[in-house]
Amino acid sequence: MRQAYTQKEQGIKELFAGHKLSYPPKQIFLRVFKQEMLLELWVAETPGQAMALLKEYPVCASSGDPGPKRKRGDGQVPEGFYQINHFNPHSNFHLSLGLDYPNRSDRLFGDRNDPGSAIYIHGDCVTIGCIPITDEGIKELYLIALEAKANGQQAIPVHLFPCRMNGTSYQALLAETRESLKLPEFWANLKQGYDIFELNKIVPKVQVDRMGKYLFNQQ
């Protein structure tokens, strides 16, 4: 961690200053697009304020297919709405940020015995179901997330999508999976949350109903 601060802290401060944003941040939000192999970092000056895109990190390796993770060992990267619940400075993949997978929706739809666990955003460039953004990328993102937490952000949301949920990518994905009954319905539910953020750049509050469907409230 000390090495990461030495190498990255000044550059991070300059990155925020270049976007006219305060550092350390009060609110951050991460958005991942599996098909585009991209992680977005968004920042807001205060809770409830519209967010600004600060940086995009390439996801350098992937596994699995379009669609959510449903059981241990399926190689799938999850899709859905999560939060960072673990900061691991001693990861085998340099540094890592753990997600609270499985969430309630995953437990209802996934394997009842073992839907899997231990999904991380991490360094290096290998994966079986996680999100690697290289050692240099995770050094920067880890420090920003750690500073946001230290600055009062209790929950850092992470939204994972199969692709950008508008335009040709999404339509092509639907066409490729037209024989599936479950995936288009699941993705339509994800798209509701995606569209709310796209409209006003404010992260919606997310809940899960008793059937496993995501519900959204604009904050």
Instruction: Look up the CATH number of the domain holding residue 94.
Output: 2.40.440.10
Residue 140 reports pLDDT greater than 90 = yes
Residue 5 reports pLDDT greater than 70 = no
In a domain, 17, yes or no: yes
The candidate with the shortest Cα–Cα distance to 69, out of 107, 29, 121, 30, is 107
Read off the DSSP letter of residue 151: T
Task: Say which residue the tokens 């993770």 belong to.
Answer: 69
In a domain, 190, yes or no: no
pLDDT confidence of residue 53 = 98
In a domain, 211, yes or no: no
pLDDT confidence of residue 20 = 96
In a domain, 6, yes or no: yes
List residues with catalytic annotation.
122, 130
In a domain, 142, yes or no: yes
Q: How many domains does the chain have?
A: 1
In a domain, 60, yes or no: yes
In a domain, 45, yes or no: yes
In a domain, 184, yes or no: no
Confidence of residue 47 (pLDDT cuts 50, 70, 90): confident
- Contact between 75 and 63 under an 8 Å Cβ cutoff? The reply is yes
Residue 89 reports pLDDT greater than 70 = yes
> 124 lies in which domain range?
2-164
Predicted TM-score (pTM) of the model is 0.95
Q: Rounded CA gap, 32 and 219, in Å?
A: 21
